[in-house]
Chains A and B, each alone.
Chain A
Amino acid sequence: GDSVTQMEGPVTLSEEAFLTINCTYTATGYPSLFWYVQYPGEGLQLLLKATKADDKGSNKGFEATYRKETTSFHLEKGSVQVSDSAVYFCALSDQETSGSRLTFGEGTQLTVNP
């Protein structure tokens, strides 16, 4: 079945540092890939997405490229801010599965210190 694996956390960075959160996936079909963010006390919010190989999703300075050859969708940001502190979830949605439900990774807690 489908699965998503994220790098183990938590991750602690200083403000303006470079961020990479690794994500790899396994899917039977041709999935769409997503990064969701969960701020403390809030629901999941879509951060960015990519629907086919070599697509790059970007939003709020974050980027991720859909790499089919390595089955990866790593999240990057060149300069993190304290306000980026949150839990980040990589996810996939496979149209081969009923309803295109989302399959999530375990999440990576990011803390950015001033």
Chain B
Amino acid sequence: DTGVSQDPRHKITKRGQNVTFRCDPISEHNRLYWYRQTLGQGPEFLTYFQNEAQLEKSRLLSDRFSAERPKGSFSTLEIQRTEQGDSAMYLCASRYTENTEAFFGQGTRLTVV
């Protein structure tokens, strides 16, 4: 068990481009969460999956954002037509049940120039 892994660790993109991030949760963890963290702030909830079903989306998740978790394994977060305000650290976390510890990946740092 290697923990939660995220790829890439860093991404620099030009405004208007699309980007996709990947999260591989701990195996057998059926709950997967995406958070966004801006400089000097705590992580903010974006969306949540139970197995392959996306059960909740924050109002922070505009129409330009989409997340998937095919087959209930890895997850992807795509941002279309990136804006400078999308620059942040995107964190993924997984847990076995809602009462167990959530484990976080190291995050993907996105810079939109």
Please, how many angstroms separate the alpha-carbon atoms of A101 and B91 in the complex? 13
Residue pair B56, A43 in contact (C-beta under 8 Å): no
Q: Does B69 contact A (CB under 8 A)?
A: no
Q: Is B101 an interface residue (CB 8 A)?
A: yes
Q: Which of B12-20, B39-47, B60-68, B72-80 contacts A (4 or more CB under 8 A)?
A: B39-47
A24-67 vs B, CB cutoff 8 Å, 1 = contact: the mask equals 00000000000010000111111001000000000000000000
User: Chain B residues with Cβ under 8 A from A49's Cβ?
Assistant: 101
Among A45, A99, A100, A107, residue most surrounded by chain B Cβ atoms (within 10 Å): A99
Give the distance to chain A from B51, nearest Cβ to Cβ, in Å: 12
Contact pattern, A 79-114, Cβ under 8 Å of B = 1, otherwise 0 = 000000000010101010011111111110000000
Assess whether B21 is interfacial by the CB under 8 Å rule: no
- Interface pair A44/B55, CB less than 8 Å apart: no
**Residues of A in contact with B, size category:** 20 to 34
B88 at the interface (CB under 8 A from A): no
Determine if B1 is an interface residue (Cβ-Cβ < 8 Å).
no
Instruction: Name the residue among B35, B102, B103, B105 with the largest chain A CB count within 10 angstroms.
Output: B102
- Nearest chain B CB to A109 CB, angstrom units: 9
Bin the interface of chain B by size: 20 to 34
Q: Given A43-B106, A104-B44, answer yes or no on A99-B4 (Cβ-Cβ < 8 Å).
A: no
Query: What 4 pairs across the A-B complex have the smallest Cβ distances?
Result: A104-B42, A100-B98, A99-B48, A44-B104
Instruction: Give chain B nearest CB distance to A50 CB in angstroms.
Output: 13
A44 surroundings in chain B (CB, below 8 A): 43, 91, 93, 104
Decide: A99 and B31 in contact? CB cutoff 8 A: yes
CA distance A44 to B91 in the complex (A): 9
Report the separation of the CA atoms of residues A89 and B41 in the bound assembly, to the nearest whole angstrom. Answer: 10
